[in-house]
Amino acid sequence: MTKQFTLAELASHIGAELRGEGSTQISGVNTLKDAGRSEVSFLANASYRSQLAQTQAAAVIVNPDAAADVSGAALVLANPYLGFAQVTQLFDNRPPVSPGIHPTAVIADTAEIGSNVSIGAHAVVGEHCQIGDDCEIGPGTVINAHCVLGQGCLLNANVTLCHDVVLGERVRIQSGAVIGGDGFGFAPDNGRWHRIAQLGGVRIGSDVEIGVNTCIDRGALGDTVIGNNVILDNLIQIGHNVQIGDGTAMAACTGVAGSTTIGKHCTIAGAVGIAGHLQLCDGVHIAAMALISKSITEPGAYASGTAQMPMQEWRRSATRFRQLDSIAKRLQQLEKGQKGKS
Amino acid sequence: MTKQFTLAELASHIGAELRGEGSTQISGVNTLKDAGRSEVSFLANASYRSQLAQTQAAAVIVNPDAAADVSGAALVLANPYLGFAQVTQLFDNRPPVSPGIHPTAVIADTAEIGSNVSIGAHAVVGEHCQIGDDCEIGPGTVINAHCVLGQGCLLNANVTLCHDVVLGERVRIQSGAVIGGDGFGFAPDNGRWHRIAQLGGVRIGSDVEIGVNTCIDRGALGDTVIGNNVILDNLIQIGHNVQIGDGTAMAACTGVAGSTTIGKHCTIAGAVGIAGHLQLCDGVHIAAMALISKSITEPGAYASGTAQMPMQEWRRSATRFRQLDSIAKRLQQLEKGQKGKS
Amino acid sequence: MTKQFTLAELASHIGAELRGEGSTQISGVNTLKDAGRSEVSFLANASYRSQLAQTQAAAVIVNPDAAADVSGAALVLANPYLGFAQVTQLFDNRPPVSPGIHPTAVIADTAEIGSNVSIGAHAVVGEHCQIGDDCEIGPGTVINAHCVLGQGCLLNANVTLCHDVVLGERVRIQSGAVIGGDGFGFAPDNGRWHRIAQLGGVRIGSDVEIGVNTCIDRGALGDTVIGNNVILDNLIQIGHNVQIGDGTAMAACTGVAGSTTIGKHCTIAGAVGIAGHLQLCDGVHIAAMALISKSITEPGAYASGTAQMPMQEWRRSATRFRQLDSIAKRLQQLEKGQKGKS
């Protein structure tokens, strides 16, 4: 828990130029405001630059421009936020897991388990699964038949992989996430719904992050596909046969309906709704709680909805919203009258 | 995994008229565009009709009208989408489960287990539960005391049924769903919340589908009731004492607050919010991300919100939305002035 | 299941004045409309006052003002809804759990387990956990290393606590909830996302309620903090380093992004979205499905969005919303013209 590194070690780890005493011992990382004398801090957002003067941090990770304002030691590199991220990984305090397979875990005879794998209490690994080297599978996690995990995947406690889910390398899945549930496909007939068996699977790239209680449904025909380095927050719904391009980020509570394709390097904010069978091109940014119901062919930022208001004022605007078509037509009437006169 | 059926068998299974060679072997089902020479395809949406000419499918499921455009074999019936659904069930590739109770499952002495039941590793079945014939209970699933499952129910891995939940026949529940959690009921007093114990249960009809991580709360007084053939997608919230009529469908991320009644054969799109204590009549259709805060007494389609816009344009509209009442009043002023002149 | 209390016992339990025969046996609690002759009912909402005349309830919990309308027995106190809540707790029919640790539970040697604790089948308690007296831990629940549960906590089945989560006393957590998942923090560099290890934990006060499948992420630097008597419904997302003040209530499907602080005694309705790094003062009330993207410094009610409309009418309003800036400018034009003439 009490890891220690020298400043020189930190500088070397993040590839920064060290200005100051390399032998200084560092025991943690913190914000400029809260850092103590044995902690390193960082300046990633220029609006906090004034805090450089007061910080008690033993050293600050900064870019070359801001380095001049640092009175103490500095770790100087082009992208201080990246440097900060790399330092947090050094100080990661996640308790170590025991290597090996817990005696209460249930592993199918036909499953292939790589080397240096940890499988927690009451976990289940189904028939014909392949678990790559260095994977960690948490307690209570269920991996159904025919799943493949690449090297170095981490599934926390109580995750579920349904059958025929394929993960690349270093995929991290938080607790409660379910990958490969049945897509929502039903044929109506005479007032009744008839289930369409979901025959596809889920394919997930490498370096993907999947948040708590997030759902990724299996494909109906063909697979649901998540690209490399996609990062998904908590409580996200990904419908069947959705495709998400490399490097796209999606914040919590967002839902993507079936068969929609999202491009690369998009950022989708929280609680966004994206309808089915759409195409979103690369480089699209969607604002929080927007509804996207048409395809997007131009990179850029999109939004819908209205902004917060005190309730009484909102009620008046909302009432007028219902009259908007009449308002617009009456305005046209007046304009015509005006024109007639001029 | 490599199931095979003859065209004649498929035609008989779905009740279609076979046009072509009945002995042709079919090994799968696919879209018109992607189907290979040993796969069957279908035309359910007229906009894909032009693909009939190019498809390589061994046969196409079509309605009588479109059958003329099929150059190869055809399976002709009135509702081709239903025929497709029935064919997917034949080709379902879900790995078979072992019948019987896994030795690590914990089954209460007072539970009654029907015949041909499969209970997975580390599943738990509580006191006085009744599990009907042909049920499948996945690994890690917990069924608390006094639950009843009708014949042929499927609970995937890591499902939770709280106590006193009653399922009809052939109910399918996806992983992570929780049925019978406490409703959200609290009495405020002097700035503190006091819990109202939730004394009711949950009653679910037959042929109901419940998606991944969906929640259905138990009733406060009396039960929460889900009708027959209701289909619920993932991450849905059903509050206490909600009632949902037969054949209603609800897409992912939708929430229904307590004591609301939804009629039969409604379709509720994704991420809809429905307030509490409302009545929605039969045949209501709600658009994605709509907020329903008043009862609906007329069948038909309803919506709220605004449509997607590029961010810069949206900002202007959103700013004007705040001024809407003033805009409407100033328009009225102008109209009065106009009238005075005419 | 068939608990019985006398009216005198109920009156004493809730601190009410008893008007009527104290020896009457009461076997349950129900609404005025549905109560049978051996059940007690309550009047908490004046709009149901007319039902007092018809109810068959053995007695009614009322405030002094409404007591005059009760023909039979009455339990009179200032806050009848609180009295009702307290009576529901007496009649709570949740099946009792066996005390002690189920033989299939896996408890780390270094965990400290208090007295009168119940731990269900296949539950897991990690290294160095401290479980207070009278706690109940449901089947399949996983508590990772270094967690602390105060006296009398209830974790239902299939809950997950990640490492370093601290609960106060009498915290109740519904199934599927995950506390302490990694916050969503990544540093972008050259088109790739680099994970920021989440070094903080989660601290939760006493008398807190956490709903089904709700997520509370651990802090990045420092902890995520939930105050005393906060009540959270189902499917809620609480981002890293959020702070929620005492007595605040939040309905289902709401999401709060990282580093936002919410004051005391706020009520947040369902499916609300609250952006990151905001401050909401005490006593704020947010309407269902509102988007809050700016800090709020004044107590009161806030909303965003538009109200439900029949689809055809909505389409017209939504189209005009896109023209709002033009409409406003044209109105200004006309007003100028008008002025010019007057």
**Res C337: pLDDT:** 84
- First and final C-alpha spacing in chain B: 81
Residues C192-221 have a mean pLDDT of 98
Cβ–Cβ < 8 Å for C112, C94? no
To the nearest whole number, what is the mean pLDDT of chain C? 96
SS3 C112: strand
Same domain, residue pair A13 and A131 = no
Into how many domains does chain C fold? Answer: 3
Question: Rounded distance, CA A85 to CA A61, Å?
Answer: 11
Q: Which of B102-116, B173-187, C1-15 has the lowest mean pLDDT?
A: C1-15
**What is the DSSP secondary structure assignment for residue B305, as one 8-state letter?**
S
pLDDT one-digit tens code per residue, B31-59? 999 999 999 999 998 889 999 999 999 99
Are B145 and C95 inside 8 Å of each other by CB? Answer: yes
Residues A140 and A248 in one domain: yes
Q: Which residues pair with B148 in a beta bridge?
A: B130, B166
Please check whether residues C79 and C131 belong to one and the same domain.
Answer: no
Predicted local confidence at residue B339, as pLDDT:
72
User: Residue B269 corresponds to which tokens in the numbers above?
Assistant: 């799109």
Instruction: Give the tens place of pLDDT for each residue, B284-331.
Output: 999 999 999 999 999 999 999 999 999 999 999 999 999 999 999 999
Kindly state the percentage of chain C with pLDDT values over 70: 99
Nearest by Cα to B59 from B44, B77, B72, B43: B72
- The pTM of the whole model exceeds 0.90: yes
pLDDT at C166: 98
Same domain, C148 and C217: yes
Q: Catalytic residue among A240, A265, A277, A285, which? A: A240
Residues C132 and C29 grouped into a single domain: no
Catalytic position from the list B240, B265, B277, B285: B240
Q: What is the CATH number of the domain that holds B38?
A: 3.40.1390.10
pLDDT digits (tens, 9 = 90+) for B120-157: 999 999 999 999 999 999 999 999 999 999 999 999 99
Confidence check: pLDDT of B1 > 70: no
Same domain, A33 and A116: no
Does one domain contain both A139 and A71?
no
pLDDT at C280 over 60: yes
Q: What is the distance between the alpha carbons of residues A272 and A282, in angstroms, rounded to a whole number?
A: 17
Residue C16's pLDDT is 98
Section A270-287 average pLDDT: 98
pLDDT at position C330 over 70: yes
Residue C342 pLDDT more than 70?
Answer: no
Active site residues of C: 240
The Cβ-side half-sphere exposure at B207, using a 13 Å CA radius, reads 12
**A320–B327 C-beta distance less than 8 A:** yes
**Alpha-carbon gap: C245 to the closest alpha carbon of chain A (Å):** 21
Task: Specify the 3-state DSSP secondary structure of C18.
Answer: strand
Q: What percent of chain A has pLDDT over 90?
A: 94
Q: Cα separation of A307 and A314, whole Å?
A: 9
Task: Report pLDDT for C339.
Answer: 72
Sign of the alpha-carbon dihedral angle for C66, C72, C77, C81? negative
Determine how many CB atoms are found less than 10 A away from the CB of residue B224.
28
> Of B126, B257, B294, which has the smallest distance from its Cβ to C270's Cβ?
B257
**Spatial separation of the C-alpha atoms in residues A281 and A247, rounded to whole Å:** 13
**Do A191 and B95 make contact, defined as CB atoms within 8 angstroms?**
no
| Torsional sign, CA A99, A100, A104, A109 | positive
Answer whether residue B23 shows pLDDT above 60. Answer: yes
Query: Is residue B230 a part of any domain in this protein?
Result: yes
Best of B101, B107, B129, B193 to disrupt the C interface by mutation (most C CBs within 10 Å)? B193
- In this complex, the chains that touch C, judged by 3 or more CB pairs closer than 8 A, are A, B
Pairwise CB contact (< 8 Å): C335 & B334: yes
Chain A nearest-CA distance from B303, in A, is 12
Q: Which residue is listed with tokens 């406060």? A: B220
Q: Determine the distance in angstroms separating the CA of A214 from the nearest CA of chain C, rounded to an integer.
A: 10
| A71 falls within a domain | yes
The alpha carbon of residue B272 is apart from the nearest alpha carbon of chain A, in Å, by: 10
3-state SS string over chain A?
A: CCCCEEHHHHHHHHCCEEECCCCCEECEECCCCCCCCCEEEECCCHHHHHHHCCCCCCEEEECCCHHHHCCCEEEECCCHHHHHHHHHHHCCCCCCCCCEECCCCEECCCCEECCCCEECCCCEECCCCEECCCCEECCCCEECCCCEECCCCEECCCCEECCCEEECCCCEECCCCEEEECCCCEEEECCEEEECCCCCCEEECCCCEECCCCEEECCCCCCEEECCCCEECCCCEECCCCEECCCCEECCCCEECCCCEECCCCEECCCCEECCCCEECCCEEECCCCEECCCECCCEEEECCCCCEEHHHHHHHHHHHHCHHHHHHHHHHHHHHHHHHC
- Token pair, residue A239, equals 């419908």
On whether residue C96 sits in a domain, the answer given is no
Do residues C68 and C143 both lie within one domain?
A: no
Work out the angle between the directed axes of helices A80-90 and A7-14 (0-180°, nearest 10). 120
Tell me the HSE value of A298 on the side-chain side, using a 13 A CA sphere: 6
Residue A308 belongs to a domain: no
Q: Do C308 and B309 touch (CB under 8 A)?
A: no
Nearest to A213 among C164, C215, C321 (CB): C215
pLDDT higher than 90, residue A1: no
pLDDT band at residue A247 using 50, 70 and 90 as cut-offs? very high
Q: Are B293 and B276 in contact (CB under 8 A)?
A: no
Residues of chain A contacting B172 with CB distance shorter than 8 Å: 182, 195
Percent of all residues in chain C with a pLDDT value above 90, rounded to a whole number? 94
Question: Among this protein's residues, is B102 annotated catalytic?
Answer: no
Of C104, C211, C308, the CB nearest to B302: C308
* Predicted confidence (pLDDT) per residue in C61-73, tens digit: 999 999 999 999 9
Task: With CB atoms and an 8 Å threshold, state whether A319 touches B331.
Answer: no
Of C175, C314, C325, the CB nearest to B181: C175
Output the six-digit token pair for C291.
Answer: 């988007």
User: What is the rounded distance in angstroms from the CA atom of residue B260 to the CA atom of residue B280?
Assistant: 8
Looking at the complex, report in whole angstroms how far the Cα of residue A20 sits from the nearest Cα belonging to chain C.
25
Last residue of a domain, one of C90, C110, C125: C90
- Same domain, residue pair A223 and A150: yes
**ipTM for this model:** 0.96
Please name the residue of chain C whose CA is at the shortest distance from the CA of residue B106.
C121
Q: What's chain B's average pLDDT?
A: 96
Q: Which residues of B touch C338 (CB under 8 A)?
A: 334, 337
Q: How confident is the model at residue C341 (pLDDT cuts 50, 70, 90)?
A: low
Residue ranges making up the domain that contains B261: 159-302
- B173 in the same domain as B67: no
Q: Sort strands C73-76 and C17-19 into parallel, antiparallel or unpaired.
A: antiparallel
Predicted confidence at residue B338, as pLDDT, reads 77
A/C interface, count of CB pairs below 8 Å:
245
Confidence of residue B341 (pLDDT cuts 50, 70, 90): low
Whether residue C330 sits in one domain with residue C291: no
Per-residue pLDDT tens digits for A28-69: 999 999 999 999 999 998 889 999 999 999 999 999 999 999
Residue B308 resides in a domain: no
pLDDT at B342: 55
Residue B128 lies in a domain: no
Residues of C in contact with B293 (CB under 8 A): 288, 307-308
Strand B17-19, strand B59-62: pairing: unpaired
A-B interface: how many C-beta pairs under 8 angstroms? 243
CATH number at residue A164: 2.160.10.10
The structure tokens listed for A328 are: 């617009």
Do residues A166 and A34 both lie within one domain? no
pLDDT tens profile C316-327: 999 999 999 999
**Interval B227-248: pLDDT, tens:** 999 999 999 999 999 999 999 9
B65 contacts: CB under 8 Å, gap ≥ 6: none
d(CA C58, CA C50): 17
pLDDT for the residue A342? 54
**Cα dihedral across residues C320, C323, C324, C327: positive or negative:** negative
Average pLDDT, chain A: 96
pLDDT confidence bin for B2, thresholds 50/70/90: confident
**B226 inside domain:** yes
